[in-house]
Amino acid sequence: MQNLTSKIATFKERFQQKILDTIARTFELMAIIVLHSVTLPSLLAVMQGVTDKMPPVDLILLLWLGLTFLFAKAAIQRDLLVMITVGAGFVLQAVMMALIFFG
């Protein structure tokens, strides 16, 4: 009986830790998506001709610096999903800015 109780307790601890890890990972990915979306409204407004005011350069540089740190963390931890998410965001933002400047 004691062995069964300890196995149940071990399972409960592992399950709780797995849930907490999943929640933390979800928040990390949501934060990356939100950070990439910060400049989206203003870049779309510039592309559609609604305004000619670009987002401040310091905002974009600080945003990209933070995302670069997240990318470096993911590379060190070999976290492929975060690396792909951050990398795809960089590419999409670069394409949007290229369309604005050269289009």
Rg of the chain over all Cα atoms, to the nearest angstrom? 21
pLDDT band at 54 (very low <50, low <70, confident <90, very high): confident
SS3 82: helix
Taking only the tens place, the pLDDT of each residue in 32-47 is: 999 888 888 888 888 8
Residue 43 neighbours by CB distance under 10 Å: 19
Q: In the numeric block, which tokens belong to residue 7?
A: 């196995």
Number of domains present in the structure of the chain: 1
Range of the domain at 18: 2-102
Asked if the model's pLDDT at residue 1 lies above 80, the reply is no
Taking only the tens place, the pLDDT of each residue in 75-88 is: 999 999 999 999 99
pTM (two decimals): 0.73
DSSP 50: S
